[in-house]
Structure 1
Amino acid sequence: MKNSILAICLLGALAGCKSAPEETPIFPKGEKSPNVNHTGNVWLRELNHADSVFSYGTSVAISDPDARLNWHVHPGGQILIVTEGEGYYQERNKPKRTIKKGDVIKCLPGIEHWHGATPDQGVTYIATSPAEKGKTIWLDKVSDEDYYGKK
C-alpha cells in the first residue's frame, strides 16, 4: 500500500514538472532554398557577404533528414563547422564520412564533393568560402548508391 501511494505521489509530481527548456538555435532558420542543386529541404541564411575587407562569405545551412546537396566544387575551398545534428561528407571516389556536431570539415579547392544530412537526422553547419576565387560549381545529383551506400 505504501509503495502504491508513493508511486501515485511520484507520478503526480512528475506530471507537474516542466521538461528542460528547448535549446534555441544560435541563428534563426533562413530562407528555404529552391530544390535546384539539392534533394530535400535545405534552409540558408547568409551571415556575412564577402566584401573588399573580408573576402569570405559565411552562411548557415540547415538540412532536414534525407536532404543533401548535389556534387559540387568550390574553386577557393570551403570550411564547414557542424553545429547540430549528423550528416555525411564525401569526396569523389572516396568513402563517405559521417560528420556530427563539433566537426570541422575542410573542403579543398577544386575537389568534387557533396554533403548533407543522414536519412534519420538533420544537420546544421556554418559554411565559409572565399568569394574572390569564384562561385560554387554545381554538378550532378548524388545517386542513391552514394547516399545510402552501395548495394
Structure 2
Amino acid sequence: MKKLLLITCGLFAGFTMRATAQNAPVFPKGEISTVNNHTGTVWLTELNKADSTIDINVANATFAAGAKLDWHIHPAGQILMITEGTGYYQEKGKPIRIVHKGDVINCDPGVAHWHGASPNSLFTYIAVSTNSAKNKTIWLQRVTDAEYNSAN
C-alpha cells in the first residue's frame, strides 16, 4: 500500500510539474517600462532588434489589468499576436475591439490606435515591426477614461 501511495504521489507531482511548465509564459515578462507613453504597469522584453540582415523588431509586452498604451501611430505598421489574456484594441474613429489569446491584429501603417489590457485581465502580445528606419512610433495623447470605458 505504501508503494502504491508513493508511486501515485510521484506521478501526481510529475503531472503537476508538467502542467505548470506548460502554462508558463514562453518568453519572460522583462523589465517594467519606465517611459511616459502608457498608464498602468507594462513589462517589455525585446526579442529581436532589427539589423542590416533582418529588418524586424520583435518584442513581448505584458500589461497588468487596466494598463494601456497612449494613442500612437506606426508609420510602417505593426502586427500584434495575442498570447495571453483579454485586451482592447481601438483605431481612431472606430469602436474598441475586444481581443483574446490567439487573435492577430494588423495595425495598419499611419493609423492612430491604442491597445492595452481589459480592466480584469493580464494581457500579453508579441509585437512585430518591420522597416525599422521608417517605423519609429509616433506617440500621441493619453487614452481618456471615457475612451477606455467605451468597451463596456
Bucket of the pairwise TM-score, normalised by the shorter protein: 0.7 to 0.9
In structure 2, the partner of 1:119 is 119
In structure 1, the partner of 2:97 is 97
- Render the CA deviation track for 1:22-60: whole Å, top value 9, x for unaligned: 321100111100151000000000000000111110000
Instruction: Report the 3-state secondary structure (helix = DSSP H, G, I; strand = E; otherwise coil) of the residue aligned with 1:147.
Output: helix
Instruction: Report the 3-state secondary structure (helix = DSSP H, G, I; strand = E; otherwise coil) of the residue aligned with 2:105.
Output: strand
Q: Which runs of 5+ in 2 are unaligned?
A: 1-11
Matches of 1:40 and 1:120, distance apart in 2? 13
Q: Bigger radius of gyration, 1 or 2? A: 1
In structure 2, the partner of 1:149 is 150
Between the two proteins, the alignment pairs up a number of residues equal to 135
Q: What RMSD, in angstroms, separates the aligned Cα atoms of the two structures?
A: 1.7
Q: Identity of paired residues, percent?
A: 52
CA contact (8 A) 1:35 1:41 kept: no
In structure 2, the partner of 1:134 is 135
Larger helix share, 1 or 2: 2
- Render the CA deviation track for 1:62-107: whole Å, top value 9, x for unaligned: 0000000000000100000000001000000100000000000000
Give the TM-score normalised by structure 1: 0.85
Please state if 1:83 is matched with 2:83: yes
In structure 1, the partner of 2:66 is 66
In structure 2, the partner of 1:3 is none
